[in-house]
Structure 1
Amino acid sequence: MRAHDLDSLLALEEIKRLKAAYCRYLDTKQWDRLRSLFADDTVFEGFGSAPTGSTADQFVAGVAGRLTDAVTIHHCHMPEIEFIAPHRARGVWAMMDLVELGGGRSPKEAPGHRGFHGLGHYEEEYRVVDGAWKFCFLRLTRLRVDPLPLDHPLPRTDLLAHSPDWLPG
Protein backbone atom coordinates (compact mmCIF):
# COMPACT_ATOMS: atom_id res chain seq x y z
CA MET A 1 0.00 0.00 0.00
CA ARG A 2 1.32 3.43 -0.90
CA ALA A 3 1.63 6.17 1.74
CA HIS A 4 -0.90 8.33 -0.16
CA ASP A 5 -3.47 5.51 -0.04
CA LEU A 6 -2.95 5.02 3.68
CA ASP A 7 -3.27 8.77 4.32
CA SER A 8 -6.54 8.81 2.35
CA LEU A 9 -7.92 5.86 4.33
CA LEU A 10 -7.01 7.51 7.61
CA ALA A 11 -8.63 10.78 6.50
CA LEU A 12 -11.81 8.89 5.50
CA GLU A 13 -12.01 7.37 8.96
CA GLU A 14 -11.51 10.78 10.59
CA ILE A 15 -14.35 12.23 8.48
CA LYS A 16 -16.62 9.31 9.42
CA ARG A 17 -15.84 9.91 13.11
CA LEU A 18 -16.60 13.61 12.61
CA LYS A 19 -20.05 12.74 11.26
CA ALA A 20 -20.70 10.21 14.04
CA ALA A 21 -19.81 12.85 16.64
CA TYR A 22 -22.17 15.32 14.93
CA CYS A 23 -25.12 12.93 15.31
CA ARG A 24 -24.23 11.98 18.90
CA TYR A 25 -23.62 15.55 20.10
CA LEU A 26 -26.84 16.71 18.45
CA ASP A 27 -28.95 13.96 20.03
CA THR A 28 -27.32 14.20 23.47
CA LYS A 29 -27.52 18.02 23.51
CA GLN A 30 -23.76 18.62 23.86
CA TRP A 31 -23.87 22.04 22.23
CA ASP A 32 -20.27 23.18 22.92
CA ARG A 33 -18.90 19.93 21.55
CA LEU A 34 -21.20 20.19 18.54
CA ARG A 35 -19.85 23.68 17.82
CA SER A 36 -16.26 22.38 17.97
CA LEU A 37 -16.91 20.25 14.86
CA PHE A 38 -17.34 23.25 12.55
CA ALA A 39 -14.87 25.61 10.92
CA ASP A 40 -15.68 29.20 11.89
CA ASP A 41 -16.86 29.99 8.36
CA THR A 42 -19.10 26.92 7.90
CA VAL A 43 -22.24 27.58 5.85
CA PHE A 44 -25.54 25.75 6.44
CA GLU A 45 -28.48 25.18 4.09
CA GLY A 46 -31.85 23.49 4.49
CA PHE A 47 -32.12 23.22 8.27
CA GLY A 48 -35.32 23.98 10.18
CA SER A 49 -33.32 25.20 13.17
CA ALA A 50 -31.36 27.90 11.38
CA PRO A 51 -31.93 29.85 8.16
CA THR A 52 -29.88 29.14 5.05
CA GLY A 53 -26.57 30.97 5.24
CA SER A 54 -26.33 30.75 9.02
CA THR A 55 -22.90 30.77 10.64
CA ALA A 56 -21.74 27.93 12.90
CA ASP A 57 -22.63 29.95 16.00
CA GLN A 58 -26.11 30.76 14.64
CA PHE A 59 -26.67 27.14 13.67
CA VAL A 60 -25.75 25.77 17.11
CA ALA A 61 -27.81 28.47 18.86
CA GLY A 62 -30.78 27.66 16.62
CA VAL A 63 -30.47 23.91 17.19
CA ALA A 64 -30.08 24.36 20.95
CA GLY A 65 -33.08 26.70 21.13
CA ARG A 66 -35.28 24.36 19.16
CA LEU A 67 -34.14 20.92 20.34
CA THR A 68 -33.07 21.25 23.99
CA ASP A 69 -36.40 19.84 25.23
CA ALA A 70 -36.94 17.58 22.22
CA VAL A 71 -36.17 13.92 21.72
CA THR A 72 -34.10 13.52 18.57
CA ILE A 73 -32.49 10.57 16.85
CA HIS A 74 -30.19 11.10 13.88
CA HIS A 75 -28.75 8.20 11.89
CA CYS A 76 -26.47 8.64 8.91
CA HIS A 77 -25.53 5.81 6.57
CA MET A 78 -23.69 4.85 3.41
CA PRO A 79 -21.15 7.68 3.12
CA GLU A 80 -19.81 8.60 -0.29
CA ILE A 81 -16.70 10.72 0.28
CA GLU A 82 -14.31 12.12 -2.33
CA PHE A 83 -11.21 14.22 -1.87
CA ILE A 84 -11.25 17.44 -3.88
CA ALA A 85 -7.85 18.72 -2.65
CA PRO A 86 -5.19 17.41 -0.26
CA HIS A 87 -7.02 18.76 2.80
CA ARG A 88 -10.57 19.07 1.44
CA ALA A 89 -13.29 16.52 0.82
CA ARG A 90 -16.98 16.34 -0.05
CA GLY A 91 -19.47 13.78 1.09
CA VAL A 92 -23.06 12.61 0.77
CA TRP A 93 -24.72 10.65 3.59
CA ALA A 94 -28.13 9.03 3.56
CA MET A 95 -29.94 10.13 6.71
CA MET A 96 -32.93 9.35 8.88
CA ASP A 97 -34.09 11.49 11.77
CA LEU A 98 -36.83 11.42 14.34
CA VAL A 99 -37.73 14.72 16.00
CA GLU A 100 -40.29 14.93 18.81
CA LEU A 101 -40.72 18.47 20.10
CA GLY A 102 -41.88 19.08 23.65
CA GLY A 103 -44.08 21.72 25.20
CA GLY A 104 -46.89 21.48 22.67
CA ARG A 105 -44.69 22.98 19.95
CA SER A 106 -45.22 22.08 16.31
CA PRO A 107 -42.27 21.63 13.91
CA LYS A 108 -41.95 23.68 10.72
CA GLU A 109 -41.53 20.41 8.83
CA ALA A 110 -44.90 19.05 10.08
CA PRO A 111 -47.24 21.87 11.18
CA GLY A 112 -49.99 20.78 13.56
CA HIS A 113 -48.09 17.68 14.64
CA ARG A 114 -45.85 16.75 17.57
CA GLY A 115 -42.84 15.88 15.47
CA PHE A 116 -41.71 14.03 12.39
CA HIS A 117 -39.67 11.20 10.96
CA GLY A 118 -37.53 12.41 8.07
CA LEU A 119 -35.49 10.75 5.36
CA GLY A 120 -33.03 12.37 3.01
CA HIS A 121 -29.37 13.23 2.54
CA TYR A 122 -26.65 15.40 3.99
CA GLU A 123 -24.38 17.02 1.40
CA GLU A 124 -21.22 18.21 3.11
CA GLU A 125 -17.77 19.61 2.65
CA TYR A 126 -14.88 19.14 5.06
CA ARG A 127 -11.43 20.64 5.42
CA VAL A 128 -8.50 20.35 7.77
CA VAL A 129 -8.39 23.16 10.34
CA ASP A 130 -5.52 23.21 12.86
CA GLY A 131 -4.74 19.57 12.06
CA ALA A 132 -8.30 18.21 12.41
CA TRP A 133 -11.08 17.56 9.90
CA LYS A 134 -13.99 19.97 10.36
CA PHE A 135 -17.24 20.66 8.56
CA CYS A 136 -17.12 23.73 6.33
CA PHE A 137 -20.48 23.23 4.54
CA LEU A 138 -23.65 21.30 5.42
CA ARG A 139 -26.81 20.99 3.37
CA LEU A 140 -29.80 18.92 4.50
CA THR A 141 -32.10 17.67 1.75
CA ARG A 142 -35.26 15.71 2.44
CA LEU A 143 -36.93 13.06 0.32
CA ARG A 144 -39.76 12.42 2.75
CA VAL A 145 -41.19 13.79 6.00
CA ASP A 146 -43.77 11.74 7.92
CA PRO A 147 -45.55 13.76 10.64
CA LEU A 148 -45.96 12.32 14.14
CA PRO A 149 -49.60 12.80 15.18
CA LEU A 150 -50.43 14.58 18.42
CA ASP A 151 -51.49 11.24 19.95
CA HIS A 152 -48.19 9.52 19.06
CA PRO A 153 -47.00 7.62 22.18
CA LEU A 154 -44.81 9.72 24.46
CA PRO A 155 -41.18 8.65 24.81
CA ARG A 156 -40.19 6.74 27.94
CA THR A 157 -38.31 8.81 30.50
CA ASP A 158 -36.97 5.97 32.65
CA LEU A 159 -34.18 4.86 30.30
CA LEU A 160 -30.47 4.82 31.13
CA ALA A 161 -28.98 8.18 30.13
CA HIS A 162 -25.89 8.61 27.96
CA SER A 163 -22.44 9.24 29.43
CA PRO A 164 -21.24 12.51 27.88
CA ASP A 165 -17.61 11.84 28.83
CA TRP A 166 -17.48 8.18 27.77
CA LEU A 167 -15.24 9.30 24.92
CA PRO A 168 -13.06 12.34 25.60
CA GLY A 169 -14.39 14.25 22.54
Structure 2
Amino acid sequence: MDDVEEIRKLKARYFRALDTKDWDLYEAVFAPDVVVDLTRAGGQRVVGRDAFMDYARAMTILQSVHHGHMPEIELTGPDSATGVWAMEDYNIWEDGSQNHGWGHYLETYVKRDGRWQIATMALSYLRIERSFGTPPIIAGADGRAHLKGPRPAG
Protein backbone atom coordinates (compact mmCIF):
# COMPACT_ATOMS: atom_id res chain seq x y z
CA MET A 1 0.00 0.00 0.00
CA ASP A 2 1.34 3.45 -0.83
CA ASP A 3 2.17 6.09 1.77
CA VAL A 4 -0.68 8.45 0.86
CA GLU A 5 -3.21 5.65 1.38
CA GLU A 6 -1.57 4.76 4.71
CA ILE A 7 -1.99 8.37 5.85
CA ARG A 8 -5.65 8.32 4.78
CA LYS A 9 -6.17 5.19 6.86
CA LEU A 10 -4.35 6.83 9.78
CA LYS A 11 -6.78 9.75 9.74
CA ALA A 12 -9.74 7.38 9.44
CA ARG A 13 -8.52 5.63 12.61
CA TYR A 14 -8.18 9.05 14.28
CA PHE A 15 -11.83 9.90 13.61
CA ARG A 16 -13.13 6.44 14.56
CA ALA A 17 -11.09 6.29 17.77
CA LEU A 18 -12.15 9.80 18.82
CA ASP A 19 -15.85 9.16 18.22
CA THR A 20 -15.90 5.72 19.87
CA LYS A 21 -13.67 6.92 22.73
CA ASP A 22 -11.21 4.10 22.00
CA TRP A 23 -8.38 5.87 23.81
CA ASP A 24 -5.73 3.20 23.11
CA LEU A 25 -6.32 3.43 19.37
CA TYR A 26 -6.52 7.23 19.57
CA GLU A 27 -3.18 7.43 21.37
CA ALA A 28 -1.53 5.22 18.74
CA VAL A 29 -2.22 7.67 15.90
CA PHE A 30 0.00 10.36 17.48
CA ALA A 31 3.78 10.61 17.57
CA PRO A 32 5.19 10.76 21.13
CA ASP A 33 6.32 14.37 20.55
CA VAL A 34 3.10 15.51 18.84
CA VAL A 35 2.10 19.17 19.01
CA VAL A 36 -1.67 19.76 18.93
CA ASP A 37 -2.92 23.32 18.46
CA LEU A 38 -6.63 23.77 19.13
CA THR A 39 -6.41 27.50 19.87
CA ARG A 40 -8.25 28.42 16.65
CA ALA A 41 -11.04 26.07 17.74
CA GLY A 42 -11.44 27.44 21.25
CA GLY A 43 -9.07 24.94 22.86
CA GLN A 44 -5.44 24.85 23.93
CA ARG A 45 -2.02 24.14 22.47
CA VAL A 46 -0.70 20.89 23.93
CA VAL A 47 2.81 19.44 23.51
CA GLY A 48 3.44 15.71 23.81
CA ARG A 49 1.22 12.68 23.35
CA ASP A 50 0.79 11.96 27.06
CA ALA A 51 -0.26 15.56 27.79
CA PHE A 52 -2.64 15.58 24.84
CA MET A 53 -4.23 12.29 25.88
CA ASP A 54 -4.86 13.74 29.36
CA TYR A 55 -6.45 16.77 27.68
CA ALA A 56 -8.61 14.63 25.35
CA ARG A 57 -9.82 12.29 28.08
CA ALA A 58 -10.82 15.26 30.25
CA MET A 59 -13.12 16.77 27.60
CA THR A 60 -16.78 16.61 28.60
CA ILE A 61 -18.10 15.41 25.25
CA LEU A 62 -20.84 12.82 25.69
CA GLN A 63 -20.99 11.95 21.99
CA SER A 64 -19.15 13.18 18.92
CA VAL A 65 -19.37 12.52 15.21
CA HIS A 66 -16.44 13.58 13.02
CA HIS A 67 -16.06 13.26 9.27
CA GLY A 68 -12.96 14.11 7.26
CA HIS A 69 -13.21 14.91 3.56
CA MET A 70 -11.14 15.85 0.54
CA PRO A 71 -7.64 15.18 1.90
CA GLU A 72 -4.76 17.12 0.39
CA ILE A 73 -1.76 14.95 1.27
CA GLU A 74 1.74 15.79 0.08
CA LEU A 75 4.77 13.60 0.73
CA THR A 76 7.62 15.92 1.71
CA GLY A 77 10.21 13.18 2.17
CA PRO A 78 10.43 9.42 2.59
CA ASP A 79 9.30 9.72 6.22
CA SER A 80 7.38 13.01 6.27
CA ALA A 81 4.20 14.45 4.82
CA THR A 82 1.69 17.27 5.19
CA GLY A 83 -2.07 17.11 5.02
CA VAL A 84 -5.13 19.34 4.99
CA TRP A 85 -8.51 17.75 5.68
CA ALA A 86 -11.89 19.42 5.32
CA MET A 87 -13.94 18.35 8.32
CA GLU A 88 -17.38 18.39 9.85
CA ASP A 89 -18.18 17.55 13.44
CA TYR A 90 -21.17 17.37 15.73
CA ASN A 91 -20.73 17.26 19.50
CA ILE A 92 -23.08 16.74 22.42
CA TRP A 93 -21.61 17.93 25.71
CA GLU A 94 -22.40 16.64 29.20
CA ASP A 95 -24.19 19.90 30.05
CA GLY A 96 -26.66 19.28 27.20
CA SER A 97 -25.19 21.86 24.84
CA GLN A 98 -24.47 20.89 21.25
CA ASN A 99 -22.37 22.24 18.42
CA HIS A 100 -22.06 21.51 14.73
CA GLY A 101 -18.91 22.72 13.02
CA TRP A 102 -17.11 22.84 9.69
CA GLY A 103 -13.45 23.59 9.11
CA HIS A 104 -10.05 22.07 8.42
CA TYR A 105 -7.41 19.97 10.09
CA LEU A 106 -3.87 21.11 9.20
CA GLU A 107 -1.37 18.34 9.88
CA THR A 108 2.12 16.99 9.45
CA TYR A 109 2.99 13.32 9.60
CA VAL A 110 6.09 11.34 10.42
CA LYS A 111 6.92 7.74 9.57
CA ARG A 112 8.78 5.90 12.33
CA ASP A 113 9.45 2.18 12.46
CA GLY A 114 7.42 1.78 9.25
CA ARG A 115 4.32 3.42 10.76
CA TRP A 116 2.79 6.81 9.97
CA GLN A 117 1.75 9.00 12.90
CA ILE A 118 0.43 12.53 13.33
CA ALA A 119 3.35 14.84 14.26
CA THR A 120 1.45 18.14 14.38
CA MET A 121 -2.25 18.85 14.23
CA ALA A 122 -4.17 22.14 14.20
CA LEU A 123 -7.93 22.51 13.95
CA SER A 124 -9.45 25.62 12.44
CA TYR A 125 -13.22 26.09 12.21
CA LEU A 126 -14.93 27.98 9.40
CA ARG A 127 -18.33 27.87 11.07
CA ILE A 128 -19.79 26.59 14.31
CA GLU A 129 -23.50 26.41 15.04
CA ARG A 130 -24.50 26.03 18.67
CA SER A 131 -27.85 24.88 19.99
CA PHE A 132 -29.08 24.27 23.48
CA GLY A 133 -31.86 22.04 24.64
CA THR A 134 -32.60 18.41 25.18
CA PRO A 135 -29.99 16.18 23.55
CA PRO A 136 -31.23 13.47 21.20
CA ILE A 137 -31.56 9.91 22.38
CA ILE A 138 -28.20 8.17 22.19
CA ALA A 139 -27.84 4.42 21.75
CA GLY A 140 -26.06 2.51 24.49
CA ALA A 141 -26.78 2.28 28.19
CA ASP A 142 -23.76 4.40 29.10
CA GLY A 143 -24.62 7.12 26.59
CA ARG A 144 -21.92 6.20 24.11
CA ALA A 145 -23.07 4.30 21.04
CA HIS A 146 -20.68 1.66 19.73
CA LEU A 147 -18.02 2.31 22.37
CA LYS A 148 -15.64 -0.23 20.84
CA GLY A 149 -17.49 -0.87 17.59
CA PRO A 150 -20.89 -2.22 16.59
CA ARG A 151 -22.01 -5.29 18.48
CA PRO A 152 -22.84 -8.29 16.31
CA ALA A 153 -26.45 -9.42 16.12
CA GLY A 154 -26.97 -12.24 18.50
Identity of matched residues, %: 35
Whose radius of gyration is greater, 1 or 2?
Answer: 1
Q: Per the alignment, do residues 31 and 158 of structure 1 end up closer, same or farther by CA in structure 2, a change over 3 Å counting?
A: closer
Pairing 1:90–2:72 present: no
Pairing 1:124–2:86 present: no
User: Aligned-pair RMSD on alpha carbons?
Assistant: 2.4
2 CA distance for matches of 1:155 and 1:55?
A: 36
Aligned to 1:46: 38
Q: Larger deviation: 11-20 or 38-47?
A: 38-47
* Alignment partner of 1:71 out of 63, 73, 79: 63
Q: Does the aligned pair in 1 maintain the 2:86–2:105 contact within 8 Å?
A: yes
2 CA distance for matches of 1:165 and 1:127?
A: 28
- Shift, 1:122, TM fit: 0.2
The one-letter code matched in structure 2 to 1:124 is E
* Alignment partner of 1:156 out of 110, 113, 138: 138
Q: Which runs of 4+ in 1 moved over 4 A?
A: 47-50, 158-161
Aligned to 1:144: 127
- Name the structure where strand makes up a greater proportion of residues: 2
Q: Per the alignment, do residues 152 and 119 of structure 1 end up closer, same or farther by CA in structure 2, a change over 3 Å counting?
A: farther
The alignment's TM-score, normalised by the length of structure 2, stands at: 0.85
The alignment's TM-score, normalised by the length of structure 1, stands at: 0.78
1 CA distance for matches of 2:140 and 2:21?
A: 18
2 CA distance for matches of 1:124 and 1:137?
A: 5
Aligned length: 147
2 CA distance for matches of 1:119 and 1:96?
A: 4
Q: Which runs of 5+ in 1 are unaligned?
A: 1-8, 106-113
* Alignment partner of 2:7 out of 12, 15, 31: 15
